[in-house]
Amino acid sequence: EVQLVESGGELVQPGGSLRLSCAASGLTFSSFAMNWVRQAPGKGLEWVSVISGSGSTTDYADSVKGRFTISRDNSKNTLYLQMNSLRAEDTAIYYCAKAPRRSGSSNYCDYWGQGTLVTVSA
């Protein structure tokens, strides 16, 4: 059974940094692209970033480009999101979500973690 467990969310001040992690099990991790998707309190879903199975290809939403960096360690079955220059509007639950194939493009999300809450506030 595929399991995705996010961690690292917490209260951080505007301008601060945070690194989220997503531990994956029950799958051959390197065979699948991985996404981060976020949801502000009471709002809809917003795609944040994707990384290919090998880690060689990444893509970002314009709202986070230049501030967030997605990466993965396939030896540890773990996905990361480094978040810098955080803003109040980055406050959200951050979900990691598996794609159905290795390529980082044209993917939906077939498995989701339970999410980790990031709150950006002074």
Residues found near other proteins in the complex (CB under 8 A): 35, 37, 44-47, 50, 59, 61-62, 95, 97, 100, 105-115
CB of residue 62 vs other proteins: minimum separation in angstroms? 7
Q: Which is nearer to other proteins, 112 or 119 (CB)?
A: 112
CB of residue 75 vs other proteins: minimum separation in angstroms? 26
CA distances from 27 to 20, 30, 90, 100 (A): 20, 9, 30, 11
- Give CA–CA dist 79/3, Å, rounded: 13
Q: Which is nearer to other proteins, 15 or 108 (CB)?
A: 108
Burial of residue 121, with CB atoms counted within 10 A of its CB: 0-12 exposed, 13-18 middle, 19 or more buried:
exposed
Q: Which is nearer to other proteins, 46 or 54 (CB)?
A: 46
- DSSP letters, 36-90, are EEEE-TTS-EEEEEEE-TTS--EEE-TTTTTTEEEEEETTTTEEEEEE-S--GGG
Q: Which is nearer to other proteins, 14 or 100 (CB)?
A: 100
